[in-house]
Chain A
Amino acid sequence: MLSILRTVGEVLRHTFAPRETIQYPEQKPYLAPRFRGRIILSRDPDGKERCVACYLCSAACPVDCIALQAVHGEDGRRYPAFFRINFSRCILCGFCEEACPTLAIQLTPDYEMCEYDRSKLVYEKEDLLISGPGKYPGYNFYKEAGLAIEGKDKGQAENESPPVDVRSLLP
């Protein structure tokens, strides 16, 4: 008897409690910036591609759904000739983001990418590349690393002295 009353009480309490369910898709849930959703490729603060095609994301990917090919541009920068993510395989684990040494690949709070046709879930570089720096506004790999590129000579990276004159014997 007591248990029946308690059950009725619980039902009444839940009937008037505020609802957790939201009216998706009219209403959108709050997603934190660190939510692991759709993957994007970001750009440097100066607008150039951040990805240097180091292959670490593809190596870290547990489902092997990232394929890319590195090329060296005329300006000395290394970038992917193609960069393909097969989202029909992707498990959004975020290992690629953790592996990325240049903060180029980032997971975003967007998951609305369903398709009826699996082949439409294959994203190429043009689909992945955004126009901004994403979550990390200030970082620029080429400013830190000692590789010379167009507009940044040897010795002009962060914390570098100018190139030495190898023909000098002075200390």
Chain B
Amino acid sequence: MPTIYIDNRPCTVAAGLNLLQACLSSGFDLPYFCWHPALGSVGACRQCAVKRFKDEKDTRGELVMACLTPADEGTRIAINDPEAVQFRAGVIEWLMLNHPHDCPVCDEGGECHLQDMTVMSGHTYRRSRFPKRTHRNQDLGPFINHEMNRCIQCYRCVRFYHDYAGGTDLNVFACHDHLFFGRFEDGPLESEFSGNLVEICPTGVFTDRTFKAHSSRKWDLQTAPSICPHCGLGCNTLPGERYGELRRVRNRYHHQINGYFLCDRGRYGYEYANSDRRIRQPLQVRRGQAPATPLTAEAALAQWAAMAKGAGLIGIGSPRASLEANFALRRLVGAENFYAGLSEPDACGLETVRAILTDGPVPSATLQGAGLSDAALVLGEDVTQTAPLLALNLRRLRYRKAAVMAAGFQLPVWNDAGVRELAQLNLPNLFIAAPHATRLDDEAAGTLHVPVPELLRFAQSVAAVLDAPEAPAADPGDPVTALAWQSAQALLKAQRPLVVAGMALGEPALLQAAAAIAARLKAMGRGAELCLCVPEAGSMGLALMQARALTAAMARGAADTLVILENDLWRRSAPEKVKAWLAQARHVVVLDHLATATTAAADLALPAAAPAETAGTWVNNEGRAQRAYAVMPPADPARSSWRWLQAMARSAGRVDLNGWQTIDDVAAELARTLPPFQTITELTPAVTVPTAAGKLPRQSHRYSGRTAMNAQRDVHEPKPPADPDAPLAFSMEGFDGPQPPGLTTRDWTPGWNSEQALHKFQGETAGLLAHHDPGRRLIAPAGKRQSLQMPPPAASPKLAAGEFQLVPLHFIFGSEELSMAAPAVALRAPKPHVGLGPDNGFAVDGQAVWLRIGDLLTEQIVRIVPGLAPGLMGWPVGLAGMPPIVLPAVARVEQ
């Protein structure tokens, strides 16, 4: 650990840093623009100049760019040297020459890195009298607003979008002071990670377009730490609320999971919470026979009490409800009557994932860990669509490989331009085998597009090569065995190989095959890891609860009284069966926050709080339990699902759930009841007051309008709502000291108003938050089964001419239920269609075909899916407007 001297103060910093990182992690303020902890240094902005001295006798020194100078042992620098201060003030004055000075109407204002750095450098008055250069803006789609005049040419956007996230449609155009950052022509940004430009851009060139429709300042947003509910990865988010409406989602840094970035589904899917489809009060639905009538909570509970009297209860849980809500339902109906509410393939797949991760020898990879592996094999999953941020991290493999090579050239890893030059020379050891081309194929050293039985044969060939590494490739003419040999050799050479699989194809055998490959690598002494993608935020929690699937509940025949928790059963099983089953049930009660087909078929619908309005624990695909807190209180009479279920138990005359006062009581009982959840009581600091000063405020100390926002209704200010479920208060008052990790409500520190303030909360830049890793891993590999058996080969189905096997097609925008209630995401979703391979011999792109699937006859538009094997037809999953089909199925083209 080198010691450097900053303004004559000795500082011990981590090895291998540059001076800018060293200054920031030692607590000094030094302005910068082009450097970013995840992107490294390029030295484009010249803002971080410091004076470097040869030794303690040197008084003259020389100006160097801190971000491009290594922090070697004994380096002496001065940040406050007058010459360096003047240089930095000059640079910011140049950067501001063409700035349009429109901060009042800019959505970045108040959390703008350029504002912060301008103030920090002391530039206050414009001296230049020359005209400003101007640019025309582009329409970049529903996610991003473009205002090019605010640009300071730091190149961060292109370095993130193009170099880091692999996007191809945003670049830099023109030359000298005409530089233009945008697309070649107007149109939505194609990358699934475009939303990160909002946080990457240090000024207001790229701002959140959905936020523009209801803009607020950062200080006016009520924020609380939350977990993204839109996929199974459990990214940490920081949603913001104002005037009772969810306004935006920002990234919340987690060292092991999402790091600095979110995907666009996670960032823009939030508007489901403001949707017109929200259920705002209890409804007597009468199964759609008559118009629904609103009820008071008391009347609804009285109706429920009548339904529950002497009736046998059946509870259907949900992978989009929190652990506590599912457990409360399990307690209400009894463990033997609780079902997970998962489709048969999902339940089967999740049980496989659970068994592999808890019994097998191979640990699950964290998201950031996946990006640090040196060889990866993706089996059957289009990760960009099902687990987007995993795709972003797999894109780092190329850079990772180059960074290892860079050590041989004595090139530091933070030297971004240099390392990327090296990265160009080679493809990463990433191999993808899937039924069709995936968005990640451009990064892969080898790809294979074959149907599922062939995927299994591929996995078996990989395992065979791992068992006998010296044997030559069996048949170079066979693409399956050829790629198997190539990828197995790469995995063998790797120290930290990664195997990725998932549930997208509904084929548990693929998960077992991935586990078997990883187990073989582990047995060879490699640090092998498995990354198994699960579909929904609550999937893994349900898997650990080991509840039976929906079909098991339906197999029991007509139910007496059904309680369905935050679940649309129409998405889980064949609609006609679900419809018939619900019709047979004597009473159906649904708790949900969005109106769905299931709520329409109920007797009683109760308004549950949306995930942003309630505390809850979520387990991600890696097995990490994390607590999310309510950003805003649910509008009365909506309440957390577990509170409804507790009230329902009480109305039915039961007293055993009355002991639950807070969500921690529910979690504690869950921890006592089910062994896998033993440690969830330690998730975050106790909910009791963390300090004598009170709870942590969700509102900033600058939060405005407290005495006017409700004054049109009542001039007397209301008391802030109480929140027994969190160590946080719906208030601007409370403990204002350092916030514990996992409870950070904002990235802010004096002088640093933008999200760049984050480095003040990290031990070192891009390091742990206050040396702490929020969340608890519930799964540790027990290693009970040392060598996992390969699943048996599957037989290819016999297809007649004109018949196609349907394979699921997943879409980041379109396949997930909640985000499709957000208008911006819905705009980016594809139209209903079916996918066919390029040489299918039947139809061209855009052609309408008639298909017979079982008893259903439907007309669909054909879209060509690159790489889709002959004999396969892609069927979009969960896309609105598609006829409901339960996969697997065969489609016949009707003439």
Contacts and interface: CB of A to CB of B under 8 A. Distances in A.
Interface of A: 52, 54-56, 58-59, 61, 63-70, 72, 78, 84-86, 88-89, 101-102, 118-119, 121-122, 124, 141, 144-148, 154-155, 157, 159-164, 166-169, 171
B103 A64 contact: no
Contact of A85 (B104, B708, B714): B708
Given A89-B707, A145-B100, A164-B174, A154 B136 contact: yes
Contacts of A54: 103-105, 109
21 contacts: A55-B220, A56-B104, A59-B220, A64-B708, A65-B708, A67-B708, A69-B214, A84-B708, A86-B707, A86-B715, A88-B711, A102-B104, A145-B100, A145-B101, A146-B99, A147-B102, A147-B105, A157-B100, A160-B131, A161-B131, A169-B174
A78 B105 contact: yes
B706 A64 contact: yes
Contacts of B132: 146, 159-161
Contacts of A161: 131-134
A101 B103 contact: yes
B134 A141 contact: no
Of A86, A102, A124, chain B has the most CB atoms within 10 Å of the CB of: A86
Contact of B243 (A52, A69, A78): A69
B247 to A, nearest CB: 11
Question: Which 4 A-B pairs rank lowest in CB-CB distance, beginning with the nearest?
Answer: A146-B100, A67-B705, A54-B104, A58-B704
A147 B100 contact: yes
Given A54-B109, A163-B135, A167-B174, 9 more contacts: A55-B216, A59-B704, A78-B105, A121-B715, A122-B715, A147-B105, A159-B129, A159-B130, A161-B134
B180 interface: yes
Contacts of B129: 159
A108 B356 CA distance: 73
Interface residues of B, number: 47
Contacts of B173: 166-167
Contacts of A147: 100, 102, 105, 147
Contacts of B702: 59
Given A59-B704, A61-B704, A85-B708, A164 B104 contact: no
B306 interface: no
B215 interface: yes
B9 interface: no
Contacts of B714: 119
B404 interface: no
Contacts, number: 135
B174 A166 contact: yes
Contacts of B53: none
A141 to B, nearest CB: 7
B102 A67 contact: no
A144 B216 CA distance: 23
B518 to A, nearest CB: 49
A118 B705 contact: no
Interface of B: 99-105, 109-110, 129-137, 147, 149, 173-176, 178, 180, 212-217, 219-220, 243, 702-709, 711-712, 714-715
B72 to A, nearest CB: 41
A164 B135 contact: yes
Contact of A141 (B99, B104, B136): B104
Contact of A124 (B110, B149, B214, B712): B712
B493 to A, nearest CB: 45
Given A67-B705, A89-B707, A164-B174, A145 B105 contact: yes
A65 B174 contact: no
A124 B130 CA distance: 42
Given A54-B104, A122-B712, A171 B176 contact: yes
A161 B216 CA distance: 31
B711 A55 contact: no
Contacts of A67: 704-705, 708-709, 711
Nearest to B181: A166
B258 to A, nearest CB: 29
A84 B134 contact: no
Given A84-B712, A86-B715, A145-B102, A166 B704 contact: no
Contacts of A101: 103-104
A106 to B, nearest CB: 16
Contacts of A154: 134-137, 149
A169 B175 CA distance: 7
Contacts of A55: 110, 216-217, 220, 704
Contacts of B147: 147
Contacts of A148: 137
Given A146-B132, A163-B134, A171-B176, A65 B707 contact: yes
Contacts of A146: 99-102, 132, 134, 149
Contact of A64 (B175, B704, B712): B704
A54 B110 CA distance: 10
Nearest to B220: A55
Nearest to B177: A164
Contacts of B704: 55, 58-59, 61, 64, 66-67
Contacts of B711: 67, 84, 86, 88, 119, 122
Contacts of B134: 146, 154-155, 160-164
B240 to A, nearest CB: 14
Contacts of A88: 711, 715
Contacts of A58: 220, 704-705
A56 B706 CA distance: 15
Contacts of A162: 134
Nearest to B219: A59
Nearest to B174: A166
Contacts of A68: 705
With a 10 A CB-CB cut-off, give which of A54, A85, A166 has the most chain B CB atoms: A166
